[in-house]
Structure 1
Amino acid sequence: MDKDSRLASWEHRSEVPLGVASLLSLGSYAVRVLGHGQPDAVRDSALALTYATWAMFIVDYGVRWRLSGQGPGFVRRHWLDTVVMVLPLLRPVQIVKVNEAVQRRRGRSRLTLHARVILYATLSVGLLGFAAALAVYQQEHDAPHATIRTFGDSVWWTCSTLGTVGYGDVVPVTPVGRLIAVGLMGVGLALLGAVTGSFSAWLLQVFSREGDDRPRGS
């Protein structure tokens, strides 16, 4: 079996386990951030689970790097995977990849390309938004002069930021919180732009078909 076949086989087998690990990582992170009243054993277990899932991503990245035979070029060609491995906040994106893998195994997806773009962009926005809300709340809720005091405040701020509205009633004041805000603005613009563009392209196709079906001379 050549390197490409071994790499494809590994990716095929690891997609679902990594998707489950993404969900577990997000859930354990939520327990650590929101479970203030939980026993120390619960929080420690959640932290251990977070590190365990992170280790899975590191192992997967290393195996794919080795099987690819690309050397340092693997990092450049798979820059998104590198970022996801380094920044756990982006790990929920793996869940979206699992859904795509399941659709491929079942055969051709029943959804059109435009519908799939909208679906995956919406899933990505929801998952990344939840992760960002957790991260911002963790950084902000006990910071001096903070306006984001509750998780509800953080969710509200995340929604307004992803929607590129930015009311300004609650804002991050810590350096890490502001860094997350910058990343979230970029994600919001990119993903919402993908949804808008795909929806517009779908409308153009619909109107074009209606024009083609219209009787000549009408």
Structure 2
Amino acid sequence: MTPSERWQQRTEWPLIGIALAFLVAYAVPIVQPSVSARVVHLCDVVVVVSWLLFAADYLIRLVLAERKWRFVRSNIVDLAVIALPLLRPLRLLRLIALLSVINRSAANNLRGRVVVYVTGGALLMLLCARLAVTAEERNVPDANILDFGDGIWWAITTMTTVGYGDHYPVTTTGRFVAAALMVGGIALLGVITATLASWMVERVREGNDADQAATRSQIDQLTARIEDLHRELREQRPAPVGVEADVAAGPGHAPR
């Protein structure tokens, strides 16, 4: 195992904890706008510290990587997520850092947890999208996404491609979030559908394999029993009459 892989294995759960703390700190001022200034300041500190820890994780992985340019090229999104939120209009990209950490952790344990991963990913994307849109839209003139409930309804109708049109973003940032939710939502829902279908096919195949194995076992048992019956019949079959008389007459008697 390379040093980079060991680092990722050791920091997997701590980074997930940091990501969840980041999500809570980001969500509290949006869900409850009436919280005190002290709570808002504390949440801002948690968000900034979490983002700095994400940046430190990226730099450490870069230092431990054997081929640094290859690491940079294969982690362009991580680099953008770390660098671009320094610009205030792009601060929402910190939410992508959260998704990136969860995605990297789940990818290492994807086998056997696909349904949990894609379902959790869909719910997490839904939550991040509605938080981001609510934060950007509710104080804008002519906006129709004014609170967290409106954001939930908008995110669900957008992600499921229903799109009633009663709520929609009017800001440029909100529309970018909507576009990302549309693309990501369709992809994740497609993965969920494909995964469930694959699971059903696998269960049916396992059932067929079990039935075939049982049938083969029964056929083998029947074949063995038939061979035993043939053997018993051969042993119990009487000899021809002429042969029995010759045997009874003794070795000195000439056959007829």
Q: So what's the TM-score if we normalise by structure 1? A: 0.83
- CA deviations on 1:77-126 (whole Å, 9 max, x unpaired) are 2345445545211234334655676xx6xxxx9xx73xx21210110111
Confirm or deny that 1:7 pairs with 2:4: yes
1:58 to partner: Cα distance = 0.2
1 CA distance for matches of 2:207 and 2:106?
33
Q: How does 1:55-94 map to 2 (within 5 A)?
A: 55-82=52-79, 84-85=81-82, 87-93=93-99, 94=101
2:135 partner amino acid? Q
When residues 5 and 192 of structure 1 are mapped into structure 2, their CA distance, relative to the original with a 3 A threshold, is: same
1:67 partner amino acid? L
- Structure 2 unpaired stretches of 5+: 85-92, 217-256
Q: How does 1:6-155 map to 2 (within 5 A)?
A: 6-82=3-79, 84-85=81-82, 87-93=93-99, 94-95=101-102, 97-98=104-105, 113=112, 116-155=113-152
- CA deviations on 1:173-205 (whole Å, 9 max, x unpaired) are 110000000001111011111111111112222
Who wins on radius of gyration, i.e. which is larger?
A: 2
2:170 partner amino acid? V
Q: Is the 8 A contact 1:162 1:185 kept in 2?
A: yes
- Structure 1 unpaired stretches of 5+: none
RMSD: 2.3
When residues 182 and 143 of structure 1 are mapped into structure 2, their CA distance, relative to the original with a 3 A threshold, is: same
- CA deviations on 1:142-173 (whole Å, 9 max, x unpaired) are 21211111210100111111112111111111
- CA deviations on 1:195-216 (whole Å, 9 max, x unpaired) are 1111111222233344452669
2:68 match: secondary structure: coil
Q: Aligned residue for 1:171?
A: 168
Q: Aligned residue for 1:205?
A: 202
2 CA distance for matches of 1:166 and 1:117?
28
Percent of paired sites with the same residue: 33
Q: Is the 8 A contact 1:132 1:158 kept in 2?
A: yes
1 CA distance for matches of 2:133 and 2:141?
14
- The number of aligned residues is 203
1:177 partner amino acid? G
Q: Aligned residue for 1:188?
A: 185
1:91 match: secondary structure: helix
Q: Is the 8 A contact 1:96 1:123 kept in 2?
A: no
Q: Is the 8 A contact 1:20 1:95 kept in 2?
A: no
When residues 82 and 165 of structure 1 are mapped into structure 2, their CA distance, relative to the original with a 3 A threshold, is: farther
When residues 73 and 173 of structure 1 are mapped into structure 2, their CA distance, relative to the original with a 3 A threshold, is: same
Which one has more relative contact order, counting CA pairs under 8 Å at least 6 apart?
1
1 CA distance for matches of 2:131 and 2:34?
16
1 CA distance for matches of 2:201 and 2:12?
35
Q: Is the 8 A contact 2:54 2:97 kept in 1?
A: no
